[in-house]
Amino acid sequence: MRGNNALRNIERVLNTRDMEQLNKTGYYHLTMACGFIAHYSIDGFKGYFAERFNLFLRELWDYLQWQKQCGHFTRATSFLRDFPYTDMTKLKVQLELYGFIEKNIERLRERRRVTPNKQETLF
């Protein structure tokens, strides 16, 4: 499994605000490295967050900030070392994901996906 594929997939989901873009590699990283609870299937995960995208963004951002505050990004903890990526470490994926969200957080928060008679609220 390639960490770069997970990173790019999660970035695509964030940029498009479309949970249908999430693939198994991105789902695996979110549930194994970002504190999300695995659902019965990837489809259950997508279905839950499809109408709750801001909740997804907030939970992901909060978890990455927690990892940074706990020193996971500066210490080579086993939590971020031991992961089956062939091209980059889990730590590198987390650092790049953190940097991407930190750089784009205002844009990601401001974008809204509007559906008839319903509009997501921002956090």
- Per-residue pLDDT of 22-53, as tens digits, reads 999 999 999 988 888 877 889 999 999 998 99
> Does residue 120 lie in a domain region?
no
Please give the pLDDT value at position 20.
95
> Does residue 81 lie in a domain region?
yes
**pLDDT > 70? residue 111:** no
Grade residue 9 by pLDDT with cuts at 50, 70 and 90: very high
Please give the pLDDT value at position 65.
92
pLDDT tens digits for range 62-91: 999 998 888 777 665 555 555 666 667 777
Grade residue 117 by pLDDT with cuts at 50, 70 and 90: very low
DSSP state of 115: E
Question: 104 near 53, Cβ under 8 Å?
Answer: no
Question: 64 near 41, Cβ under 8 Å?
Answer: no
Higher pLDDT, 109 or 60: 60
Please give the pLDDT value at position 83.
62
Number of domains into which the chain is organized: 1
**Domain with 65 in it:** 3-114
**pLDDT > 60? residue 115:** no
> Does residue 79 lie in a domain region?
yes
Name the nearest CA neighbour of 80 among 14, 28, 22, 34: 34
Name the nearest CA neighbour of 99 among 79, 78, 73: 73
